[in-house]
Chains A and B, each alone.
Chain A
Amino acid sequence: MTSTVESTATRAATPAAPAPSRLRRTVRTSEFTLVALAVIGFVALTLTTDGNMLSAGTLAAFFRFLAVPMIIGLAQMVVLAIGQMNLSVGVLTGFCAMVAAWAMLEAGLPAPLAVLGAMLLGAAVGLGNGLLVVFTRINAFIVTLATMTIIDGLRYGVNGPGTYQDYSAGLEELGQASLLGLPVVFLIACAVAATVWFFFARTVPGRHLLASGGSPFAARLSGVSNDRSIVLAHALSGLLAGVAAVLTLAQSGSVNATIGDDLLLPSFAAPIIGGVALAGGVVSVLGTSLAAFIVRLVDVAQAQFAINRRWVDLIVGAVVLGVVLSGAIRTKLSRRSS
């Protein structure tokens, strides 16, 4: 059982392979490649740093800063599932974080309310994106490009260039807390990922969403409302951006108007490395999370060996390109062999 969730429409479209053994089927999935890559990378990093990787501090930091990229990757993945894109995830995360911090510091709201508010705000903005896409029939790429620009302005408008800090001792404590040796923020991210997986694998709206992504026409003929799927996907994406905002608030301890600037490209990198098709209809929660893990490994390697920060981008770019190319080659080979 892999966690790639596919719409039935997409699955029906791929020709049935002559039933290879279960093991070979598992080995051939892109998740398996990613797991192998993640394990090899992790072990290599542990060996080359003389076990420094396994020290409690390093390990905790590794997982703590994995949480946000994971959630952001999922936020993008949800929209990719219907074959659309959401360019506003990064700035939306920053905007929600700034508004929540403002609510706690300037409006004097208690932290739980602010956290809830941040998530609701994210969902509301996402809902707005979805409604705009549905009612104007303009390409989601363009709609979210426009809302990205707008939210960017709003995000700056919350506090100008200023920084918010010391907003909530409780929230910051949560950001530093650990459970069973793993940071709580990471565990929250895992719980969210599991929920997203459940949504796509086991719930009716989730299946409808994938059906719309796999083939809008077939979905419509089967009585699925594509418009509802679009609105739902965008709202969910916004909600996840809100969750990422809360995690950012918890782990960083201070936020300013640049939060989220560096999240847009990674938000695409994780699902794409993780094997999510841009055409829609396929999602992979495990793949996306593993991809975020691998990118994080590259990040840590950079810090451990004091390599120029810029090598990370170069390597991540090369990895994305490599994964995409190997995927294309694999399809070509399997088509030839069948």
Chain B
Amino acid sequence: MKPEDTTTPEQPRPPARLPLWANPRIGLVVLLIALIALFTTLRPAFLNTQLTLVPMQADISVYAVVGLSQLAVLSLGHMNMAVGRMAAMSAFASGLLHDRLDAPLIVALAGGLAMGALLGALAGLIIARTGVNSFVVTLALDFALIGLVSLLYASFTDGVAFNGLPAGMSALRTDTFADYCAGDLCGPPIPLLAPIALVAVLVVGLLFRWSRTGREVLMAGSNAKAAELSGIPVRARVIQAHALSGLLAGLAGFLLSANNGAFSAGVGDGFLLPSFLAPVLGGTLLVGGAVSVLGTVLGTAITQVIYKGLNLLQFQVDELKLYIGLVLLAALSLDRLRHVLAERRGVPA
């Protein structure tokens, strides 16, 4: 999926074929393959299904959804600094539904998603109504929710987590499709979390590519004034994009809770950085108007491969950060270089 560009040229001309090197997604795929090859040669255990590949796929599933949550508002040129806490609130709602009402898995999930969407819509409403910078609003919301989450967990549970999970959730955590066999035929070693994330990726991708609402959100992000004048209800689109961000944050919170095996207050603590890393690595700009869903997934995959690979090479957790930061800087600078080269050759990139 290419970054959707909403600015149409004055004269409709046949879209110029991009040369291969000018497509940022190809670069990401090459980088991903190179990294996997590198880590595999250094540590053959990198391709061990049980130890590395399955947990890594689960992590990619979680953080791809986190990235999409940020992408939903980056499409507007907005930010959501409260992704982590929206996820935590959603996980709390799911946990509470299960703990007090004994809700089954699907109801708990729905409750969590509703909570996330509600919080996102609240942020969107404030931003649309007052015109205050989204960064400020979501930052303040994050502050407020940090406090609220801990207070809620303190008053509704014994500590910082709910005991017990809805039936079926531990299967999400431990099982892969390989555990379900029809006779001799078993599924691939893909964790059960992956298809959920895949659905999210497809829905968001289709939304921004084909749906009217999605296109209008992108247009509002590209130029709010022009969008307003063209009859697009910009305020409604702002609220919807933020609600989508909250919903996806809620989904990410649910997936991480499934991965961790508990609905706890710590869910979402580490979401903020990856939420920006993945879309930005994938070529989504902060100015709005263009998103790359596939790029976000690739960005997530690259980050997680680096984490896992350096982990296997026994780097300390905090050393990892150093390299992730360097990779981000290098990737962005290369991207910039690609842009400059493309501009020089007159190729729209």
Residues of A at the B interface (CB closer than 8 Å) are 85, 132, 136-139, 141-143, 145-157, 160, 257, 265, 268-269, 272, 278-279, 308, 310-318, 320-321, 324-325, 327-329
Contacts and interface: CB of A to CB of B under 8 A. Distances in A.
B276 A317 contact: no
Contacts of A265: 139, 142-143
B332 A152 contact: no
B321 interface: yes
B146 interface: yes
A325 B324 contact: no
Interface in B200-253: none
B159 interface: no
A321 B142 CA distance: 11
Contacts, number: 139
Contacts of B168: none
B150 interface: yes
Nearest to A138: B332
15 contacts: A142-B276, A142-B328, A143-B332, A150-B321, A152-B321, A156-B319, A157-B322, A160-B316, A278-B136, A313-B144, A314-B146, A321-B144, A324-B132, A325-B132, A328-B130
Interface string B68-95: 0000000000010000000000000000
A149 B273 contact: yes
Contact of B141 (A150, A160, A257, A321): A321
B143 A150 contact: no
Contacts of B126: 321, 325
Contact of B147 (A149, A313, A320, A327): A313
Given A142-B328, A317-B144, 19 more contacts: A132-B329, A145-B276, A146-B329, A150-B322, A150-B326, A151-B325, A153-B320, A154-B322, A269-B140, A272-B140, A310-B154, A311-B151, A316-B143, A317-B146, A320-B136, A321-B126, A321-B141, A328-B130, A328-B131
B139 to A, nearest CB: 6
B143 A146 contact: no
B137 interface: yes
A320 B131 CA distance: 15
Nearest to A332: B130
A34 to B, nearest CB: 16
B151 A317 contact: no
Contacts of A136: 332-333, 336
Most buried by B among A138, A154, A311: A138
Given A310-B151, A325-B132, A152 B318 contact: yes
Contacts of A329: 130
Contacts of B133: 278-279
B319 A153 contact: yes
A137 B325 contact: no
B146 A137 contact: no
Interface in B107-165: 126, 130-133, 135-137, 139-148, 150-151, 154
A317 B140 contact: yes
Q: Which 5 A-B pairs have the closest CB atoms?
A: A153-B322, A317-B144, A314-B147, A317-B143, A149-B325
A202 to B, nearest CB: 29
Interface string B280-316: 1000011100000000000000000000000000001
B323 interface: yes
A51 to B, nearest CB: 29
A154 B287 CA distance: 30
A312 B144 CA distance: 9
Contacts of A278: 133, 135-136
Contacts of A328: 130-132
Nearest to A329: B130
Contacts of A320: 136, 139-140, 143
Contact of B325 (A139, A147, A272, A318): A147
Contacts of A269: 139-140, 143
A93 B231 CA distance: 48
A80 to B, nearest CB: 11
Contacts of B140: 269, 272, 317-318, 320-321, 324
Nearest to A148: B325
Contacts of B150: 308, 310
B336 A137 contact: yes
B84 to A, nearest CB: 12
Contacts of B328: 142, 145-146, 149
Contact of B144 (A151, A314, A324, A327): A314
Contacts of B286: 139, 141-142
A268 B140 CA distance: 10
Contacts of A316: 143
Contact of A149 (B131, B136, B137, B324): B324
A72 to B, nearest CB: 15
Contact of B154 (A268, A308, A312): A308
B246 to A, nearest CB: 16
A54 to B, nearest CB: 28
B275 to A, nearest CB: 11
Nearest to B154: A308
Given A142-B286, A325-B132, A317 B322 contact: no
Given A146-B332, A265-B143, A325-B126, A153 B318 contact: yes
Contacts of A142: 276, 280, 286, 328, 332
Contacts of A146: 325-326, 328-329, 332
A218 to B, nearest CB: 20
Contacts of B139: 265, 268-269, 272, 320
Given A142-B280, A146-B328, A324-B136, A153 B143 contact: no
Contact of A317 (B79, B145, B277, B287): B145
B329 A153 contact: no
Contacts of B142: 265, 317
